[in-house]
């Protein structure tokens, strides 16, 4: 088992993890980070987190191994074509269906 650390970041606020958690592997650490995200989304108001929240999973040396993002709550997900249309023609509004 290896010890992983889970640092929560929301905008400029950081909640450091100085205790860490023993996990079997990186996949197990990822699952733990996803559970933290699910708990935060369930118990915290969505507006402060939005899509800006994330958890950095790090090893004992402080090297970031992966990042788990908070879901964008309360926002309509943008479709890939909406972004392409806006880049090609900034006057095209997203979600028009054309």
Assigned domain for 53 exists: yes
Q: 15-25 burial string, b = 16+ CB within 10 Å, else e?
A: eebeeebebee
Assigned domain for 36 exists: yes
DSSP state for residue 50 in the 8-state scheme:
T
Mean pLDDT of 82-90: 55
Kindly report the pTM of this predicted structure: 0.67
Assigned domain for 97 exists: no
Enclosing domain of residue 17: 2-73
Assigned domain for 56 exists: yes
Give the separation between CA 67 and CA 45, rounded to whole angstroms: 21
Q: For the chain, what percent of residues have pLDDT higher than 70?
A: 64
Assigned domain for 16 exists: yes
Q: How many structural domains comprise the chain?
A: 1
Assigned domain for 94 exists: no
Assigned domain for 60 exists: yes
Which two three-digit tokens encode residue 70? Answer: 């908070």
Q: Which of 29-38, 41-50, 52-61, 72-81 has the lowest mean pLDDT?
A: 72-81
Assigned domain for 92 exists: no
Residue 65 pLDDT > 80: yes
């Amino acid at each position: 088992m290896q010890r992983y650390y889970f640092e929560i970041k929301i905008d400029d606020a950081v909640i450091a993890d100085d205790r860490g958690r023993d996990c079997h592997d990186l996949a197990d650490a990822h699952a733990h980070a996803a559970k933290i995200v699910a708990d935060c989304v369930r118990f915290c108001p969505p507006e402060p987190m939005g899509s800006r929240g994330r958890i950095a999973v790090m090893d004992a040396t402080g090297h970031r191994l992966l990042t788990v993002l908070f879901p964008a709550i309360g926002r309509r997900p943008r479709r890939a074509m909406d972004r392409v249309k806006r880049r090609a023609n900034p006057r095209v509004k997203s979600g028009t269906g054309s």
